[in-house]
Structure 1
């Protein structure tokens, strides 16, 4: 297996409405504003959204994500609207390929959307782009999306993006309040939702 740090991963993807870009130093202010706008909506689902972050904390998050991207241990992408020419205009959320097992390869897509930009299909657009990155360029065998069963908006994104519900894992994890939650598991896999690899290789 190729060492993960040697895997070529594009730091920028463009869709009709979005630029998906790896975080970099200096992104903290834009990230901070997006999170502060969205705290009330994110708080029930995201452990990192329980209190308002400082500018310094958001800059640290951006720099840590930048480092992990370079190491290929976690591939975070910020979601930016663009002006039609690819110039970034507004940070509207985050997504990425997480919990990576390069030996398979297997990835998990996570996502959040800035308040005021939900219900527009932006996250679904990003998920489809990341799914294509995983299968077409990173030779994925499996891509998962997991969420609290009560997070209806999240699992509807997975279904719109063409992921198959595989299971509802009962009492599988703790929620942000410390209670026990059920987890919905969606996936796309090589040879089922995605075309089999040519020549039988991974």
Structure 2
């Protein structure tokens, strides 16, 4: 998939990260540490330019190798960063990937995670032709559970040591989506 693709809804634009996103990307992450950092250990108040630059470089490299497709989620009207959504841990032999997302604190609760995830799901099933997506989250992450349920994902299990947070293995809830769970537009 090309890194210059954009996907647009009435409210959002999804696209690959660019070096020009560095300042706002850093600010979006560091300012959201109170709501995102409790679930994702890379999100902290001191997230700096070096971390943001490395993140963007790694994201761009992942696009080139096809190992992960991370989309920056932008407010269509203002072009401000709302968050990110990604298809990660793409496993060609199992034809599956993980679907992950984070939404900047001030945009949480507006339905942006579901809206962006619907685009990523369509990309996964219609363009990448994957046959399974997994959504994995902490049992305490009520917002992510709500997103998974709103997407129509099926709860499969509570998996021991499924999430690593600050080098500590933790229990995770595993939800899944397969193409028949959703209406995938024909190609």
TM over 0.5: yes
Tell me how far 1:26 sits from its aligned partner. Answer: 2.1
Q: Tell me how far apart the structure 2 counterparts of residues 56 and 146 of structure 1 sit (CA, whole Å).
A: 28
Partner of 2:46: helix, strand, or coil?
A: coil
Q: Tell me how far apart the structure 1 counterparts of residues 119 and 19 of structure 2 sit (CA, whole Å).
A: 24
List alignment gaps of at least 5 residues for structure 1: 1-6
List alignment gaps of at least 5 residues for structure 2: none
Q: Tell me how far apart the structure 1 counterparts of residues 14 and 44 of structure 2 sit (CA, whole Å).
A: 25
1:104 has 2:110 as partner: no
Runs of 4+ in 1 over 6 A off after TM superposition: none
Alignment match of 1:14 (pick from 8, 22, 28): 8
Q: Tell me how far apart the structure 1 counterparts of residues 60 and 162 of structure 2 sit (CA, whole Å).
A: 30
Tell me how far 1:172 sits from its aligned partner. Answer: 3.7
Alignment match of 2:171 (pick from 177, 182, 193): 182
**Larger-gyration structure (1/2):** 1
Partner of 1:116: helix, strand, or coil?
A: helix
Tell me how far 1:175 sits from its aligned partner. Answer: 3.4
- Contact 1:95–1:111 (8 Å) recurs in 2: yes
Compute the TM-score of the two structures, normalised by the length of structure 1: 0.83
Partner of 2:79: helix, strand, or coil?
A: strand
How many positions carry a matched residue from both structures?
A: 185
**For residue 3 of structure 1, what is the aligned residue in structure 2?**
none
How well do the aligned residues superpose, as a CA RMSD in angstroms? 2.2
Distance 1:161 1:9, change over 3 A: farther
